[in-house]
Chain A
Amino acid sequence: MIRHVLLRVLQLVPTLFLASIVVFFIIVKAPGDPAQITAGPEATPEQLAAERARLGLDKPLAVRYAVWLSDVARLNLGYSLLARRQVTQMIGEAVPQTLRLALASMTLSILIGFPIGIVAAVRQNSRLDAAVTGLSSIGLAVPSFWLGILLILLFSVRLHWLPPSGVGDPDEGSLYNLRYLVMPVVTIAASNLAVFARFVRSAMIDALAADYVRTARAKGLGARAVVVRHALKNAMIPVVTILGIQFGRLLGGAVVTEAVFAYSGIGRLSVLSILNRDYPVVQGTLMLVVCLFLFVNLAVDLTYGYLDPRVKAQEA
């Protein structure tokens, strides 16, 4: 088992390596001269040349890539061109905010999405089922930035219940700061729980049609026991596979949602850095996101193999 896990981790290395080349090229190919940005618009050609040498921009590409990669491997992501702060420090401040958002919305969407998906499957083709399916197709289609704007219109502009933007004030109590989390969490959860509801529903429908469920019914088990002990347990196995995809969606959703609510997490950091041409920060956030995404997907794969021994047998 440990060998299997190590092997899978090793298999990530080439992908990470290639992804790092893509991320590195952002700074090379991106329009705008980093030296010009740090030296200011009125720098003389000599000052510009000195700034280029300081940033290492005068070296050949391969050398620059090697230097950059070894820095990244040692978690040194360089300095922001604008804020004159370490990129790791800026990312370190943004990550907890995004994680809080991601965990809260993942919890909310599982808590709502799973039960309604199960109920819709058990009462397939009922009016309730139609409502769940209909709502989930709306949830899938509503762009998060529009949903965010609608929530702000209702809860901030009209009702004055919640603050329209920001992450709160660390000096205030957690209950005060919780108010800043409500709308972003709901915005991200909306599309997420729609996916969960749909997926759980179809997995449950498949499971309920399986032979072992018929057997369980035939031997006289109660409806609740059949659903919970037999169908649900097996339906959860395919559901695990979408958790990784959903995690990627969650990070993507965070980019847009954080922009809507001026919520200072990883997504907003990367978008602001692009708009400001602060490339080291863009590179740092992208590398972090890629690592997170790859490892979460690996973890999901391994869990899947653990839950369903048939998968591992196929791989071997």
Chain B
Amino acid sequence: MATSIPESRPKRPERPPAAARSTTVLRRLFGERKGAAGSVCLALFILVAAVGPQITPYNPIELHLDAQLAPPSARFWWGTDELGRDILSRVIYGARVSLAAGVLAVALAGVVGVATGLLSGYLGGWTDAVISRIWDTLLAFPAIFLAIGIVTIIGRGYLNAVLAVAIINLPTFARLVRASTISLKGKDFVEAARAIGAPSGRIMFKTIFPNCLSLVVVQMAVAAPAAILVEASLSYLGLGSQPPTASWGNMLTAAQSYLYRSPTYGIFPGAALTLVVIALNYFADGLQDAIDPRRTRAGARMS
């Protein structure tokens, strides 16, 4: 976009560095091996989750009382569980549970985080002080313990576990948007909007928000794999999705009771979970590099 502006023209108000166009981002994402592999693998999981009911060999809660804890065979490719339910079908349904948990938790954390981050960054003062104290308080708990505390208060179950995972991710989003809002607040294009009398709400959501959107999207991708892991952990501990719902976490809880009788039972749900998380991590890494190629790769994530 090399547009030359004649010297005599008044200088245009300074714009933030234009966010990379989505086609460019996609090209960069697929240009790198890990990013491409992660995206393809992730797309496969999403496809399997989406068409799940059409491709499962059996109903995931259908009992086959003649074949309990059966090893993998031609009839049951991945074997059956302690009630004779088909493990392959249950793992496929588990993909829906896990992916939905990741998307829901991260979207919720993103929406609330953006709103509160814009408010505390733009308004400052006591609004900022109060909101920031709340995040400090949440961050005083190690993530899993915070989730456990929240689930204790609001009760066990899938949606409550997802809500807990969203809450533990909230401070990260809110702080990210707050910091970015503060740095954008002083820019000319925001001053210009204020000068023409735009109301605060409009400036926050129409002027500032679009400029921190790419940061939020990247953070969503980075937070999603950890969110999926935490939700699965809560299910494994008996605090998240409850039987008979097929989730990878509670399948592994059940599998652990039958390790001696059916060693293969515990392999598949865990492998699926690990694969999704690896794919998401690669995708998030690739996306981060594609959106901001100058980014230095820091190693720590999923705190």
Contacts and interface: CB of A to CB of B under 8 A. Distances in A.
B13 interface: no
Contact of A256 (B155, B237, B277): B237
B264 to A, nearest CB: 9
B270 A252 contact: no
Contacts of B229: 141, 143
Contacts of B54: none
Interface in B125-166: 133-134, 136-137, 140-145, 148-149, 151-155
Contact of B300 (A199, A260, A270): A199
Contacts, number: 162
Contacts of A259: 236-237
B144 A140 contact: no
A255 B144 contact: yes
Given A153-B266, A274-B151, A18 B256 contact: no
Nearest to A12: B140
A242 B300 contact: yes
Interface stretch (B114-122, B192-200, B291-299): B291-299
Contacts of B233: 143-145, 255-256
A149 B255 contact: yes
A30 B239 CA distance: 14
Given A15-B136, A15-B140, A22-B137, A142 B274 contact: yes
B300 A16 contact: no
Nearest to A252: B144
Max count, chain A CB within 10 A of own CB: residue among B149, B256, B270, B303: B149
Contacts of A22: 137, 141, 149
A103 B298 CA distance: 25
B288 interface: no
B207 to A, nearest CB: 31
A149 B252 contact: yes
Interface in B225-274: 225, 229, 232-233, 236-239, 249, 252, 255-256, 259-260, 263, 266-267, 269-271, 273-274
Contact of B281 (A137, A144, A260): A137
B299 A274 contact: no
B136 A286 contact: no
B272 to A, nearest CB: 10
B282 interface: yes
